[in-house]
Structure 1
Amino acid sequence: EVKGEKRAVLRLDPKIAPIKAGIFPLVKRDNMPEIAKKIETMLRPHLKVFYDEGGAVGRRYRRQDEIGTPFGITVDSQTLEDDTVTLRERDSMEQNRYKISDLRNELDKRILISSN
């Protein structure tokens, strides 16, 4: 529940979700959109991803939750320091940090084991 509203989530198995991950720069400055676009370019040949920089990041997460996107990738100030991003899992809302270079393998692994 967010601000008195129930959280709407389409709980599609990651294997069948049409979009596998949303990519979000936390803010539209400090090179975050450019880094997020590079991640989009890196992942797009392998996975269907969606780039979104409009509105608050929580609202962007909710939009993707509603259409069944299983993962959210957020570029933030820590990304600028250590090349890591936050990977958020839709159903548990658990968030962990991963190196950008490890992101594709981590997503592949999570999609593969999603219903096992």
Structure 2
Amino acid sequence: MQNIVILAGNIGQAPETRTTQGGTGITHFTLATSRPRYSEGRVVRDENGYRVQDTEWHRITCFNGLGKTVQQHCDKGMKVLVRGRIHYTKWTDAAGIDRYGCEIIAETVDFLSWPKESEDPEFIDRGDDIPF
């Protein structure tokens, strides 16, 4: 069996990077995904007939080069596709209580909307040099 996660959504906060004592770069960001809300096997709709959406929040962790790329090019609201694996952690807090966490360790992050420095129209490649 394999541990594979694929999520497409919007970045919820600007990525944050830190470096471990061993020199490993770790970048974190949150990703919002949406799904239709169901009740009794049917999609719930609002008063205007639109589907009601439920949002799920995921903690995404990127290491080293991938983390650097995400830090440089991603920002809040950007659409991305994350491929990776789910990772569970357990720790004991200062009060001696066991705590649990869940995160997605990203192996790839594909940009589904423009990276932050490409939002300037001067940098957008419109393909004007196509000869036909």
User: Structure 1 or 2: larger strand share?
Assistant: 2
- TM superposition score normalised by structure 2: 0.24
User: Structure 1 or 2: larger helix share?
Assistant: 1
